[in-house]
Every structure is written in structure tokens, then in C-alpha cells.
Structure 1
């Protein structure tokens, strides 16, 4: 494939895109299990933020009457219980997808809210040779939603030179605010609201599987970014 008009980088979220999401269903269960209401407004409010901010919001939502640090400890315990019943799996087609994207003239990176060792090395380490040799993974918990951090501070590209692939609508909103590319990947039944949020935000591309995250789709996004038509006016 010849060069793109605009795209210089592709950033893929780990949790929910390349491996199973382990947060949405767990957080919903935690909130309802602790007396809180978990509706669309609650999900929009708590998902996609720094861990401690999520804990602060859930503490208020559930009226727990305790420091958010305590709530965060309980959330991590709940996640461990969730993982015992729902072990993390690499998404079907992950290798084929990355192999196809690795052939493109772009920097290909992964990102997530945990340290590199926590998820990336453990589940996706075999794919590291397909990713950017300098920055295969970016940890964004302290920089969420992460668009500015990854594009400008880590990769040094303009916002309209990068596309993000993520399962959370807050990243879509951040990408739109900065004029960056975005492909939505609401990958499970627990993502039903995220799909709705993305659609209302103006996300045009919502592939149903990694098999649909193709070089051809990226060429379409590149053309949209080059002509300022990626986001609705």
C-alpha cells in the first residue's frame, strides 16, 4: 500500500480491543451490588477516567461513606473475583489484524490504563515485534483519556495524523475535541451503551470484529482526515 495522505500513527487500546474487556461488566456489578443505580448517566460519568477518579465517583454514587482509596481497593478485589470467572483472552484475529496493520507506513502502538507488565507483556508480548520498536505500549492511567498524551507528548504527531481504536466513548469524545481520528470498537454486550454514546458523538466507523479493522478502513479514515470530513460538522 502506498503512503497515506495524513495518517502517521495508529493507536490501539488493549482492554476491549486486543484482549477482553474486564471493566465495564465488573463496574456495573460493583455499583448495583453496593446499592447504587447504574444507568446510562452513571456509565457515562464513571467510565474512562483515572482509577482514583472512578473510585471517587462510585463512592458518591453508592453513598459508601468511605475514602475513595478504600473503594479503589474494593474495586480491585472485585476485578480479581471477576477475572477468576472470566479469564482474560486475546481477541480473535488479533495477530492477523496486527500483521496487516504492521505493513502500513504508520507507527503502530498499543495503550492501556495499566503498566506495560500488567497486561501488555503478559497477554500481548508475543506481538511486540509487530508494533513500533521505540514505543510499542503507552500507559495512560495518569493521562486519561489519553489522546493529547499519546499524540503530542509520546509520538509527536498532529491530532489529524493519528487514529485511535477504542471501546470507550470518552476517548471518542476526546478524539473529536482534538480533531483526531477514531474508530469505535464496542466489543461485547456490556458495551451496548458505549456503542450508543459513540454514535451520538458522531463516530462513523464501528467495526464488529478485528477482521473488519483493515488497511482499507484506515485508508478511508485517512481520506476523511485529509479532507476534514472525519467528524460531522
Structure 2
């Protein structure tokens, strides 16, 4: 096994990477209830965006009359209904992925907009793999990459993010933060197309593709940022 030289943390989106995507189906149903056609533009202006930006977009472009608070409450209602009627599945290959990360000595933390209780509920059997705080909720500072890095007090060569949302990838690219795009499996999602348009250096369609070799390759590429190695 090779040795990681630069990376210390691996931050993984909860909904869509560790767990099967439920954000897409919820957003799709919510937009249908507003009689809004579900398009690439809708995803681009909502996914991984702050609530204020989402509200401004829906009010100005789609003439939705709800306040930010009302929009969020509506989302919570749709989410609660979806969760109560749907079995939340873990991504295929999760256990092997967790073991690979542990074997490489990387510090694993999950993040996302969902409350920490949701993380604990669905990954309770695997908490030993995650470093405290184990999960960082980004609801109030989307997409959250810079805020997470500040919270952990790390530089860009010490951390990598894995996410299925292109807006997260855009922030990673603009700030030279290592990033792996994860292909969304939701039938109506435009995120695979969006991620492809970013010309990412690293993109996968399953946790099984996030191999030791891939992570070592990414780590080695960071020597130019952290030339002491």
C-alpha cells in the first residue's frame, strides 16, 4: 500500500454519495407542486445554494410568492413525506470504501444540509469510521467548502471533497480544492451533465471507483501545491 503525503481529510456528501440520492426526487416533486418544469436551470439555481438565493430565484423567475421561511418549511414537509414512504439505501460499496479510507489513514467526515440526526440514523453502524464531529451540517452556509476548511483549519492540499452537485465542484475548481465528482443516479437529474461540463480531473460513478490508486494519484498531484514533499 502506498502512503498518503498531503491529504489529511476526506469530506463526503451524505445525500447522494454515502447514501442514495433523495434530494433530487424531493426537489422534483416540490417543483412539480409549484407547476415549475424541472430543468437544468432549476437544479443550477437551487442545489447547493443558500436559501436566500433559492428564494430570490423562485420569486423572481417563477413568481413563487412564498417567503424563505415558507419555502424551507415546504421543503421539510416534502422531505418528511418522502422519508416516511421510502427506504433510504446506502450506496453500493460503502463498507469497502470506508475500509479503504481507514487503511489509508485519512480522516473521514460527512457533510450536507440534512440534520445530524439523519446522518446518525442511517450510518449508525459505521460511526467508528468517521472522525469527530463525524458530520457537518451545511444548511446555513451552502455549499460550505470554505467554511468547512476554516472549521477544520486546513489548507487546500490537505482536504478533498466528494460530491454529486456541480455547484460544489465549481467552488472547488475556483478555489483549487481537490474534488471528485460523483455521478448522480436520479433519473431526472442534470448533475451528471453539469459535472461533465466542468471537465473535472476526477469523476466516478460509484464508491468502488474511489480506489487507493486514485486517492494516491490525487495526493501525488498535490505536491505542486505543497512542495515540501
Same-fold call, TM > 0.5?
yes
C-alpha separation in 2, matches of 1:27 and 1:226: 40
More relative contact order, 1 or 2 (CA 8 Å, 6+ apart): 2
Which of 214, 218, 227 is equivalent to 1:217? 214
Check whether the contact 1:20–1:91 (CA below 8 A) recurs between aligned residues: yes
Q: Is the 8 A contact 1:8 1:161 kept in 2?
A: yes
- What is the SS of the residue equivalent to 1:54? helix
Equivalent residue number for residue 83 of structure 1: 83
1:108-152, Cα deviation, whole Å (9 max, x unpaired): 1111112322x11101122111122x332211111211111122x
SS in 2 for 1:196: helix
Match of 1:148 in 2: 146
Aligned-partner Cα distance in 1 for 2:60–2:123: 35
Counterparts of 1:70 and 1:39, CA distance in 2: 22
Give the match's secondary structure for 2:11.
Answer: strand
The answer as to 2:33 corresponding to 1:33 is yes
Q: Kindly state the Cα deviation for residue 22 of structure 1 after the two structures are TM-superposed.
A: 1.4
Q: Is the 8 A contact 1:112 1:140 kept in 2?
A: yes
Structure 1 length as normaliser, TM-score?
Answer: 0.87
CA gap of 1:161–1:216, structure 2 versus 1, over 3 A, is: same
Cα displacement (A) at 1:12: 0.8
Query: What's the CA shift string for 1:75-98, capped at 9, x where partnerless?
Result: 221222222333212222212210
TM-score (norm 2): 0.89
Q: Is the 8 A contact 2:51 2:68 kept in 1?
A: no
The CA distance in 2 between the partners of 1:191 and 1:171, in whole Å, is 19
Gaps of 5+ in 2: none
Shift of residue 59 of structure 1?
4.2
1:226 counterpart = 2:215: no
CA deviation string 1:154-208 (max 9, x = no partner): 2221112211011111111111111111111123134742112112222122222
Q: 3-state DSSP class of the match of 1:225?
A: helix
